[in-house]
Structure 1
Amino acid sequence: MRDDRQLWYRRPQRIVAIICALVGGLLIAFGPEARAMWWSNPVVTVEDALTIEALPTATATPLVVYVSGAVTAPDVYRLTPGARVIDALQAAGGLTEQADVSGLNLAAQVRDGEHIRVPYAGEVAAQAEVSETAGLINLNRASAAELEELPGIGATLAARIIERRETQGPYRSVAELREVSGIGEKLYSQIAPLVTIDP
């Protein structure tokens, strides 16, 4: 006759019951920390993956430039970063027949806020003539402070230069500076290239 009485460790039901009792005791003894350790799920769900993929990506800020002069449609245009001057001219509809791009670098990169002006034919030569006197101090219009920027000219000589034009009329040539007391040949040779009498 079979003996139904088996050792306790040979009965799986009792072993499972003992394990469950031990686990339950640990959860009760160590509280939420143990439960979190046992039941935490590090697996990323589909919803989490979709949320990560949906994060916004950084977008490049467009360049805003003003194109004027001898182009078909002068206006403000938005260009992609890294655009060149030629791209800005194409955005403005291209060049007119009167355009002169000899002084433009069509391959130069465009800067945000830049003003690109395409000169008309003949305008470049006129600008070159003006640039010859650009930055020169006009003896007939300069203030005392402007004259004092010249080498060797202090407050006293600046006042004498102004007094000369007020008492004897406008300077008719730069050489008339020699008539101002205190301006010798050496000083005159230093300041003559820096002044003009042009209106």
Structure 2
Amino acid sequence: MRGHPLHYKVINGQQIESGIPEIDQFYRQLTDFVRRISSDDMTPLKDKLVGVNINVTPAGGTYRWHYDRNAVTVLVYLNEVSGGEIEVYPLFRIYLKGRGPAFLQRWLDWFVQLNVVRQLFGKKIVVKPAQGRMVALRGNRCLHSVRPVQGEQERVNIVMAFDNYKDQNLSKQALDQYLYSQKPVSSDPNYTS
């Protein structure tokens, strides 16, 4: 995608569960905190592949504008780097939440991501990576991206996803293929079932 392509490496939740169980335990311990800040019955995702990840964004790497598939996303930075800031437009989505056709949600999301719309109607927050800094956001309602990482050091952070138990959808195979494999996709998998 122009402007902010998808460029990063990932250690997925299954690898974390078997190789770094302390991070998986930390993820589960954050549940009460996430419930308090969201005022909702949030739980870690049932899909272990995507529930908790470690993202490694190399020098020059970015992450495009997007919304998450889940209600709450928590990031914890493991290091400080130049660049690599997360840009967030809080609650900047006309969200149909499954009450309309996927093409309409795709079009609405495309429209609010236009630079002119963001500048006129949005309020951007930029958070710099710093070791131990935690960022929590309504992932499916806040438009967000990652600026290019500068210098030679990789940006490393833990990403933890929470959702209301009844809203969790395990049928996002196209999105998982896009995020966790090298296989090409023919269209944006955020809008396929």
Asked which structure has the greater CA Rg, the reply is 1
Higher relative contact order, structure no. (Cα contacts within 8 Å, ≥ 6 residues apart)? 2
TM-score for the superposition, normalised by structure 2: 0.18
More helix by share: 1
TM-score for the superposition, normalised by structure 1: 0.18
More strand by share: 2
